[in-house]
Chains A and B, each alone.
Chain A
């Protein structure tokens, strides 16, 4: 009976066929949708874990950017006298670090997906992409707190009568799009790195270091406009540059808002994300054997 499957059994409609490495484009996106509750549970877990472990947990998200901003204000504006586009330095740096931190945190955290979850991944199947996705979503909490800080600072400066011109309608439409791009880019880069680091774990050190360096290659502590023209092209190649500049110009009314740069960032994000998902999908099937 084993050697001769009956005609009826060969015509059976199997719900799942487990085979060797599948093609590049079998992404099982339907699976991802079926497990959407898990995404929510992971986000909740991350939130509760941070919230419960220390009373200061969420407050750290608040203190950290404030301290960073303060440091930047003293060093770059106070000591180095770098331009802040005529804006109050505090506000300028806050508007730069808020989106940058979101991107950087997404990237750093997702870049260790496989390593951090090796134990879980080794025991049970679920679409692996859920994990980095949940990180991108739960990092929004951190972003929200920092964003709140920015809004308060902005409100305070506006009350003081500072010369700032937020673009309200632009903010409403632009903010979600910019966040989406930041998250997407962070996720894309993160999953690519996490896929590549399944074999070599010490590459992860490079990530933390690289992200720190990358901040200086991005107009976070200086406006894009001050860059010398011959270097400007290279700065604009950085896909985050356009996003941060756009963010700052929406909220503070100063800086370079360029559709061309944003379009380039959007295209770059989409490509990175696609490539990331493809590689991630490729690696997830067998990474348990190499980790």
Chain B
């Protein structure tokens, strides 16, 4: 393993809760005066839940607690976690916007962070002037920027507007320009936070390509995003933060799966019948769902070579005129639809009772990766009526045991096979001469 360029040791960050200053002396004095007279705090938020059970605990909250990890040179590390898990705090400390409470981060090489594109862009300045300004803010010297100006302009595709004030740019163009400046930074370590949220598809692709280049060129990339598809395509390894703690440091696919299934005990098997608010509508209720192997045992992992089945149990409370049809919605880890499937000939199943719908999905249909299965029941009666639709109700991890499939199924190719599906199709290759 190559040398580590970032080493995070026991990093913690404490934030003070409760009586954070109102920001002005007059307000604080007023608050104090109210308290002296035994009145309520005049600046307390209206409608804020006053949680007594937690109040006594502490006035402080750990945004990060005891984080340890290392990043090797040239590695692309994804940082994932829910909102408030501490990702932004970690990035802020990394980019020296704020200091940790304890612990340390040791860094080797220049670190450039892109917590938001277009930081410090001035609307009155032209595109060219802003390139220089933004570059300087990010720590580039003037001659460096001048050297790269052509490349930056070329990449941004804003050449025609270079001498127009940025205030006349569309937001997309501003982002393009800003990303271009950052992309040509000569930093050894690049920290990126969700910058790809804006920009059209073509430009996003360009950015992604550039970021892959960055990773491939031996530079180190730290990438924070909620887009798991992006994370898994860009990073080999992810760390998962949960409530300020590092809960997982694993290969990307494993981390992504854990991110999705957080809070659900058995994502491959779910019982919906005891829900406080049952998933029901139009007289039908979702009871349970499961991902099973071919022998009917619920499992989380499926070998790509073997098929599996998805089971959904539902109940019709009353007799219906036209029977509903169950349908399953399969999406990949990025949330993109792979397919929707429904059985044929179920319109005759109209009587009340409990039903079991099982769909068999053959091996070598889905590619390896994490997939989510939404469970739905639909009536076709005077238009479409959805009885229930539980999005991402189940989760399945398709794994490809490469050691076993390498020679037989993969022609010796050991890399990642792109795409959401990996069907085995009929081929005809013949020698012509």
Contacts and interface: CB of A to CB of B under 8 A. Distances in A.
Interface of A: 1-2, 5, 9, 12-22, 34-35, 37-38, 40-42, 44-45, 48-49, 52-53, 120-126, 199-203, 285-286, 288-290
A43 to B, nearest CB: 11
B99 A200 contact: no
Contacts of A126: 137, 139
A42 B130 CA distance: 11
B3 A9 contact: yes
6 contacts: A18-B93, A20-B102, A20-B103, A41-B133, A48-B125, A124-B115
Contacts of A288: 92, 97-98
B23 A121 contact: no
Contacts of B129: 44-45, 48
B125 to A, nearest CB: 6
Contact of B120 (A2, A34, A120, A290): A120
A18 B94 contact: yes
B29 to A, nearest CB: 10
A19 B104 contact: yes
A123 to B, nearest CB: 4
Interface in B129-149: 129, 132-133, 136-142
Contacts of B109: 15
Given A12-B4, A15-B110, 12 more contacts: A2-B69, A16-B106, A17-B105, A19-B100, A35-B139, A37-B142, A45-B129, A121-B97, A122-B97, A123-B116, A124-B97, A199-B21
A185 B314 CA distance: 78
Contact of B141 (A17, A37, A44, A199): A37
B21 A200 contact: yes
Contact of A19 (B3, B99, B133, B137): B99
A286 B104 contact: no
B104 A17 contact: yes
Nearest to A53: B124
B120 A124 contact: yes
Contacts of A124: 95, 97, 113, 115, 119-120, 137-138
B177 to A, nearest CB: 16
A285 B104 contact: no
Interface in B263-311: none
A126 B136 CA distance: 9
A15 B104 contact: no
